[in-house]
Structure 1
Amino acid sequence: MERRHESLATPWAAGVAGVVFAVLMAAAIVLVRIALPDGTGADNPTVDAGQRSAVRTALELLPFAGIAFLWFMGALREQGGESEDRFFSTVFLGSGLVFVATLFGAAAAAGTVLDESQQHPPFGRHFVYVLLTTYALRMAAVFIITTSTIGRRRGVLPRPLVAIGYLAGLALLVVGANVPWSELVFPAWALLLSVNILRSRRPARTQPAASA
């Protein structure tokens, strides 16, 4: 009975964790985009107090977004079971872990750069921007494509959501951050996937021990 209850609760945990990640990640991206519209601030080396406050708030949200994503990824992997193809399972796990590592690295570097003197050129901000948009978004694209492929092969994702996943992954893989606000594609996809999980898998009521 405990095994069955745990397996039924896994999709619910994945859906909730995905929603939390999507909300926190989107909020951090919006704050950074509003504070630094050009991404690196190369045209304006100085950053005023309001911009610093917005970026600091975004940096405080990113660790919690990364933790929620790890929970989301783990619940999805548990839902996939042991019968999943090892190749896709390895790519799924690797891309998710590299994304979180890159996200945390960019956040730590951004926190250090934010405390530097305003007279310094914005090389550090450019490094953070490239690390987040070039590498983290590419790993997010691989994660989206792999998850969509696993969902299609197992038949657990509807075809429209699979098609949206492939389009979102290819967009992040090819376009990257060349298009403003394209970073929101990943949390938007995670939110759609999480809502689909929550709608299709409701938490089961615990049955009495005697009936089990």
Structure 2
Amino acid sequence: MARKRESLGTPRAAGIAGIVFAVLMAATIVLMRIALPGGAGGDEIVVDDGQRGAVQTALTLVPFAGIAFLWFMGALREQAGEGEDRFVATVFLGSGLVFVATLFGSAAAAGTVLAESQQHSPFGRHFAYALLTTYAMRMAAVFIFTTSAIARRLGVLPRPLILLGYLAGLTLLVVAADVPWSELVFPAWALIVSVYVLRDRRPAGARPADAA
């Protein structure tokens, strides 16, 4: 009975953690875009006191978004159980951890730019922008790909969500560095998957009949 309760609780943990991550990540991306108007372009940043306070508050949420993502990642892996493929699971874990590391680095760099009394040097802004859009989002793409591959193998997500995952991952991999606001694809995907997991509540290891 204890094991059954544990397995039934895992989807709920994944769903709640995923929703928390999606909300915090979306807020972080929006407010970091405010901190970095025009992305890496331009020669200087003009941020008034109201924007500065809002962005500094948002940056304090980044560690909590990272914690929620790690919880989300762990709960998703628990769902795979003994059926996980070691190779795919390694890429899954590696991409998730690198994503969190680059997200934290991007937030720290953005905070440094805001704290500078001289805001005319573009180096810090370029560094933060590159970490977020080039590296963090491409690691997010790999994470989405591997999650979708695991879900397809185990039959824990419906085919439309798996296809959506591949499309979201491809978007982040190809255009995240060039299309403003495309970073929001990641939290949107996490939110959709989390809501499905909460509504479905399938025990770990359960597979639909047509997925065998």
TM-score by length of 1: 0.90
**Structure 2 residues without counterparts, runs of 5 or longer:** 204-212
Task: Give the secondary structure class of the aligned counterpart of 1:180.
Answer: coil
Aligned residue in 1 for 2:158: 158
Q: Compute the displacement of 1:45 (Å).
A: 3.3
Q: Letter of the aligned partner of 1:88 in structure 2?
A: V
Aligned residue in 1 for 2:107: 107
Aligned residue in 1 for 2:56: 56
Aligned residue in 2 for 1:75: 75
Aligned residue in 1 for 2:141: 141
Of stretches 151-160 and 1-10 in structure 1, the one that deviates more from structure 2 is: 1-10
2:32 is the counterpart of 1:32: yes
Q: Is the alpha carbon distance of 1:5 and 1:96 closer, same or farther for their aligned partners in structure 2, counting shifts above 3 Å?
A: same
Q: Is the alpha carbon distance of 1:32 and 1:89 closer, same or farther for their aligned partners in structure 2, counting shifts above 3 Å?
A: same
Contact 2:133–2:183 (CA under 8 A) maintained in structure 1:
yes
**What CA deviation, in whole Å up to 9, does each residue of 1:14-70 have, x standing for no partner?**
000000000011111122224433123624334322332232122111111100000
Identical aligned residues as a percent: 78
Contact 1:35–1:54 (CA under 8 A) maintained in structure 2:
no
Runs of 4+ in 1 over 3 A off after TM superposition: 34-37, 43-46
Q: Is the alpha carbon distance of 1:101 and 1:82 closer, same or farther for their aligned partners in structure 2, counting shifts above 3 Å?
A: same
2:88 is the counterpart of 1:88: yes
- Distance in 2 (alpha carbons) for counterparts of 1:34 and 1:103: 16
**Structure 1 residues without counterparts, runs of 5 or longer:** 204-212
Q: Is the alpha carbon distance of 1:202 and 1:162 closer, same or farther for their aligned partners in structure 2, counting shifts above 3 Å?
A: closer
**What CA deviation, in whole Å up to 9, does each residue of 1:69-103 have, x standing for no partner?**
00000000111112211111111011001101111
Task: Give the secondary structure class of the aligned counterpart of 1:56.
Answer: helix
Q: Is the alpha carbon distance of 1:102 and 1:36 closer, same or farther for their aligned partners in structure 2, counting shifts above 3 Å?
A: closer
- Distance in 1 (alpha carbons) for counterparts of 2:146 and 2:153: 11
- Distance in 2 (alpha carbons) for counterparts of 1:91 and 1:154: 17
Contact 2:113–2:119 (CA under 8 A) maintained in structure 1:
no
Q: Is the alpha carbon distance of 1:35 and 1:120 closer, same or farther for their aligned partners in structure 2, counting shifts above 3 Å?
A: closer
TM-score by length of 2: 0.90
Q: Letter of the aligned partner of 2:13 in structure 1?
A: A
- Distance in 1 (alpha carbons) for counterparts of 2:6 and 2:53: 42
Instruction: Write out aligned runs for 1:11-30 (5 A).
Output: 11-30=11-30
Of stretches 138-147 and 80-89 in structure 1, the one that deviates more from structure 2 is: 80-89
Q: Letter of the aligned partner of 2:5 in structure 1?
A: H
